[in-house]
Structure 1
């Protein structure tokens, strides 16, 4: 009887093997295993596409910012507007880099005569007094004094005027002068005219509120914080197309004057 038991056992083992083969073949035919493999593969592909999509968007944003930087600083930076200050741009806000005496020396080096008669009527009988007013008013608002002073020298031709505004208006940066003979704003004295100019600069440079009572009639019209750097005061060089003036390289000219002032 033992040989019969061995034979039955062998048949059972063969039957089990056949059954396993048939089961695997059936599973392959219905696509169960391949479907699971595809599902697993699909998850990986989705993650890859999501990752590539994010990576693709970031360089695109950088490219757009870089294009703006090219307009403002001749392509010196392609890393975005937020990093421009580290690449040579001159901030409007901050501690002054010049002294009152350096401002005085810079004016005197121009060879122009200080209009004492006209500006004495507004409370600034000397270039020393005039420069001290600039320094004090700028410091009160956190604006760099050299920025405002250099802008005045550019706008007025070292206080010689000759444009639409006249010296009796105590308007030192062409506030409200829109061309075509429009004289622009007038102020009661030299200090008020200086304060208005500095408040206007601050409006362009930052969204921070003023420290002193607003005397700048055009303050509310400025897009706050649109020109944090002197170079961006020119509309043609500003990435947003906003700015103080439309002339080519307006802000860059002022920076050049600041550099001259620092060397005196």
Structure 2
């Protein structure tokens, strides 16, 4: 009986040891997997960090390249502008004032020139056409001229000459928004009329461009006399007068017409 009990006890102990061994192996396996997973996560984090740094580097590299390209473009534009200004000044210095080209005249200078003449601005009439003040009027001239590559001072001063600083008194009237005598052939013919101030200004500038160059218009043509002009026959303001034009063509028949405009431009710049 005692031997049987000993055998049973021995079997129980062996079974317990076997169970304990199995549990130990199982725990070791789980611990290994957990450690492996943690290591894999750390590895993934490191790879992601490296990838993120690489992306940031490439992005910054691209931004730096873009900034350099913009800087180079600005420098080129500045050089081109300076070159154009120098070329324009050289042409003017040679004794002829080009109708086309860049200009250093500002809107404020145009406003001051009008106000210095001491003439009242026809606010009531021109407000109906969208130019309630001389400042707005001059800004329209500047913007429309630049849009076609015409010097703003040429068109503006021509208007001051043609209209007597917007006082009119000739065949055309201020209500027509015709600022340079387009279509006024004399004998009381009033010439063209336009729906608003800007359209009248645009027509005048397009007509000037027709005389100055054979280049096409940049905007839609509103000058119904544009087609009648022989293109490029008066590239200089001085040649706008038919008597001074080498081909006998030009804007007006009056003596020294273009030279008077140039003189007025120089007065405005003083």
Q: Could you tell me the TM-score, scaled by structure 1's length?
A: 0.67
Count of residues in correspondence between the two structures: 181
Distance 1:171 1:220 in 2: 18
Q: 1:42 matched to which residue of 2?
A: none
C-alpha contact 1:141 1:211 (8 A) present in aligned 2: yes
Give runs of aligned pairs for residues 133-152 of structure 1, distance below 5 A: 133-152=140-159
Q: CA deviation at 1:156?
A: 0.1
Distance 1:156 1:184 in 2: 13
Q: 1:161 matched to which residue of 2?
A: 168
Distance 2:108 2:92 in 1: 27
Distance 2:170 2:251 in 1: 17
Q: Does 1:245 align with 2:252?
A: yes
State the Cα RMSD in Å: 1.2
Distance 2:103 2:186 in 1: 32
1:67-102 CA-to-partner distances (Å, cap 9, x unmatched) read xxxxxxxxxxxxxxxx98662100000012310000
Distance 2:178 2:156 in 1: 13
Q: 1:236 matched to which residue of 2?
A: 243
1:223-264 CA-to-partner distances (Å, cap 9, x unmatched) read 10000000000000000000000000000000011001111x
Consecutive unaligned residues in structure 1, runs of 5 or more = 1-82
Larger relative CO (CA 8 A, sep 6+): 1 or 2? 1
Give runs of aligned pairs for residues 215-230 of structure 1, distance below 5 A: 215-230=222-237
Equivalent position to 1:126, from 106, 109, 133: 133
Runs of 4 or more consecutive aligned structure 1 residues displaced over 3 Å after TM superposition: 83-86
C-alpha contact 1:97 1:146 (8 A) present in aligned 2: no
* Greater gyration radius: 2
Q: 2:181 matched to which residue of 1?
A: 174
